[in-house]
With several copies, the nearest count.
Chain A
Amino acid sequence: MSLATVSQWMQQAAEAVPAAPSNQAPAAAAINTGDTAWVLVCSILVLMMSIPGLALFYGGLVRRKNVLSILMQCLAAACVISLFWHAIGYSLAFSPGNGFIGGLDWAFFKGVSLDTPYTNYGATIPHAAFAIFQMHFAVITPAVVAGAFAERMRFPGFVLFILLWTLAVYCPIAHWVWSDTGFMSVLNPEVQGAGKAVYDFAGGAVIEVTCGISGLICALVLGKRKGYPNHMSPPHNLPLAVTGACLLWIGWIGFNAGSALGANGLAVNAVLVTQLATAAAGITWALLDTWVHGKPTVLGLISGVIAGLVAATPTAGYVTPGAGILLGVAASALAWIFVIKLKNRFGYDDTLDVFGVHGIAGIVGTLGAGFFASKLVNPSVVTQTGWAQTINQIKGIAIIAIYAAVVTYVLLKLINRFTKLRASNHEETVGLDVTQHKESAYTIID
């Protein structure tokens, strides 16, 4: 085989995965550069949420000996899930298929145009821009789950878990709610026409509830950390956690407002709702802390901030700022009650309160997105609001929660047969950084 042949073959191999043929002529006229710029920037902001945002937020909250393991998990999610999403994830989640799952037509972004829109997913931006935006949603979702089993999951098991979980949990659920053929999607004309769609603007159910429930199952299956709950160390570096929380806030604006898929009025509403719900939620938690502990804590305030961002996620493109504020307050208060008051009674160890914050606030937000959905905000999709829609939301949440719980459980049990998920006693006491990655985060002598 001559060198030229090899090279030709390699080139063909490379082109066999074409980014997209760009000759779907006339529709191209619809592309708007302002909308495209906005969605690309938002996709960068969403990536920033995972790395370094979430990584630092979680990393600052764990012990010194486990901080690298958290950073590594977030980085691994960014690497592994990006490739997976390009390969088959996007296609499974968003390509036309049945109500439950998409097909493989868009595997390796085949047919996902670089310069023409797929009208249902953004009529004014290239289809591939939408697919990239969604890629970063798929990246952050399993990274959020990691907070539930922080400080005690072995790394090989983690990688296997996020891969299978994205395949079996995230892709289907995203398909149900957001694809144009999903069985509870507003984009599915039949479902929407029948008034059976679930409103979830940027992922209150798809991402937050799914994360919360899956995290809870992980925490239960993996068991408590040694010494929990009596001998826990405080967060090793709160400024790091605050930095992460701030970057999450910043990025989350792109997460929610980018979901408008254009630099339009809906995006503006989403920015506003996100900011106000978050602010209200942060204050709520701080006040509750003050009431019970005498002082507002920084960790409390940023926990409230996260709860508010979560609550804004499903709602930002459906409700008015006033409703957003109400939901921010409610989500933060309920998350607070759960994390501060109820959690200790149940005795499971959800390390960084993925269920308590993301799960609870995700449920509150998703219910609120139905209840408060307003035609003034989102004229195109709203056919019903109030209680009628809230019932749809409840159904949606229930189906998603049950599905996520069952499949997560099965996956954990399955993976555990191949590679131990839970760190050994020795690995846990010595720390995951040294035992899983042969590194220490900080030197202690100058």
Chain B
Amino acid sequence: MKYIIAIIQPDRLDEVLQKLEEKNIHLVTVTQVMGHGRQKGIAEVYRSHKEGGSLLRKIKLEIGVNEEFVQPAIDAILGGAQSGNIGDGKIFVVDIEKCVRIRTGEIGTAAIG
């Protein structure tokens, strides 16, 4: 089982979720985060103070999946989030040791989906 963490542009959320659905990945946790990166963002202006954009709004997705869904998930995220512009974000994959479905107490690969 793998834990996929993806940082994407906020305006891509709907499309990524849709692409994930298409690959039968329905369970996702979404967080609003700020990204510090090389992207500069649309300069915001507040009176004399121009926001260079050191911290930009991003969306973080977390998806626990069984092995066979890792690549489909990555493809879906790339499909929905890739614009080719700086700031598109990253995908990280981490190993999960254990997964429990709270409702049932089920454990392991059966619990994740």
Instruction: List residues of A whose CB falls within 8 A of some B CB.
Output: 227, 229, 231-232, 234-235, 289, 293, 295, 297, 299-300, 303, 339-340, 343-344, 353, 429-431, 434-435, 438-440, 444-446
Contacts and interface: CB of A to CB of B under 8 A. Distances in A.
A439 B13 contact: no
Contact of A446 (B10, B14, B48): B10
A232 B49 contact: yes
Contacts of A289: 45
Contacts of A343: 48
A434 B57 CA distance: 12
Contacts of A438: 42-45
A445 B32 contact: yes
Interface residues of B, number: 19
Contact of A444 (B14, B34, B42): B34
B61 to A, nearest CB: 11
B47 A430 contact: no
Contact of A300 (B32, B47, B51, B55): B47
B42 A430 contact: yes
A98 B94 CA distance: 78
B30 interface: yes
Contact of B45 (A227, A232, A430, A439): A439
Interface of B: 10-11, 13-14, 30, 32, 34, 42-49, 51, 55, 57, 59
A225 to B, nearest CB: 12
Contact of A440 (B14, B32, B44, B59): B44
Given A289-B45, A344-B48, 8 more contacts: A229-B49, A234-B46, A293-B43, A293-B45, A295-B45, A438-B44, A439-B46, A444-B32
Given A234-B51, A445-B13, A446-B57, A434 B30 contact: no
B45 A445 contact: no
B14 to A, nearest CB: 6
A237 to B, nearest CB: 12
Contacts of B55: 445
Contact of A339 (B34, B44, B47): B47
B45 A235 contact: no
14 contacts: A227-B14, A229-B49, A289-B45, A299-B46, A340-B47, A340-B48, A343-B48, A353-B47, A353-B48, A429-B11, A430-B11, A434-B44, A440-B57, A445-B34
Contact of B44 (A227, A234, A340, A445): A234
B48 A339 contact: yes
Is chain A's interface secondary structure helix, strand, loop, or mixed overall?
A: loop
Closest CB pairs A-B (n = 3): A429-B11, A438-B45, A293-B45
B52 to A, nearest CB: 9
A423 B42 CA distance: 16
A410 to B, nearest CB: 30
Contacts of A232: 49
Contacts of B46: 234-235, 297, 299, 439
Contacts of B34: 444-445
B14 A231 contact: yes
B30 A445 contact: yes
Nearest to B83: A426
A163 to B, nearest CB: 25
A444 B57 contact: yes
A434 B42 contact: yes
A232 B52 CA distance: 10
Contacts of B30: 445
A344 B10 CA distance: 28
B28 to A, nearest CB: 12
B30 to A, nearest CB: 6
Most chain-A CB neighbours within 10 Å: which of B13, B46, B51? B46
Most chain-B CB neighbours within 10 Å: which of A299, A343, A438, A445? A445
B79 to A, nearest CB: 16
A227 B32 CA distance: 21
A444 B30 CA distance: 10
A339 B49 CA distance: 10
Nearest to B10: A446
B11 A303 contact: no
Contacts of B43: 293, 438
